[in-house]
Chains A and B, each alone.
Chain A
Amino acid sequence: MIEKIEDRELKRRGRRQLLMLAPVAVLGAFALPKLSDHLVAAGVRFSDWASGSLFRSEHLAPTFSNSEVVPFSNFPYNGYDVTDPGVDLENWTLTVEGDVQHPGEYKLSQIQALLKINQNTRHVCVEGWDVIGAFGGTPISEFLMLVGANTSARFLEVECADDYYESIDMPSALHPQSLLCYEMYGQPLDRGHGAPLRLQMPTKLGYKQAKYLETIRVTNVLRAGKTGYWEDQGYSWFGGL
């Protein structure tokens, strides 16, 4: 619809309408680093909150046939620092702390005595690549039952022999496909993949799958600045798939 408008009236309307758009210009203010740091940190927190709300404990990640699994030699060794922290596999124990009835040291044989699951699942790296691998281990939930963990606690923290550390939300830890993994491709974990024990969760990104586990802690409180090696540098804490 074309109107006939007095020139000044048209300009006046334009100015009035421009004012209404001013809030959009506020977006441009976030080009300033001091503001944008806060904005994107809040954005990631919101995304993590949405991801946690979206997470369906009963929904399984896709699994694959043996023919879809990449050859073992094509499964990358992705160390952040060292590929072998020199774990003493003979005398290794897993320390269990926090909100559990039976804290203490657990041997690998005690973990291997629990329900064993083999699964071919997709390992997705935050960088964008992914590989389908074959993993074997016990569900984290089985182990938490063994140690009498309070599964209504909010978080699981792990510390690793290579000084890596991670924390995950309890619903993800209790997911039926979330494993304490001690085998890949039917063989005991090798040193490059985190021997003797690592996390393996097809509902989480690769950086959440901590290797060389030494300590597991059940807790309701995460320590600020110690939520995860990469998360403390800016990666999403939830890291869910």
Chain B
Amino acid sequence: MHELSLCQAIAGVVKPHAAGRRVDVVRVQVGALRQVVPETLSFCWTLVRDHQGMNGAELELELVPAEVACRACGEQSTIASRWSVYCPRCDSPDVAVVRGEEFLVTSVDVT
């Protein structure tokens, strides 16, 4: 819903690292538990980058599946459900989310 402002935030993170050089690729990790719509984010990026002096910079999204560590059965598993973070092995709600909430710029390619 607010992917346009997210793209502005991404540009804000990238700029100091680029330090005036041409930005070719921006790599962003998006966890499955984030409410970011990859298609929308990519589209908004094509609008935002030109205004931020990053014409042509490609946004590459790495989608990270959600994983939980279960305190009941001790197992760590990937979860496929879009809503439940219960342990998929033993159905316990006593879990810690270990992956899937990422939303960060991992690296940029500059020339």
- Chains A and B are bound partners: no
Chain A interfacial positions (CB closer than 8 Å to B): none
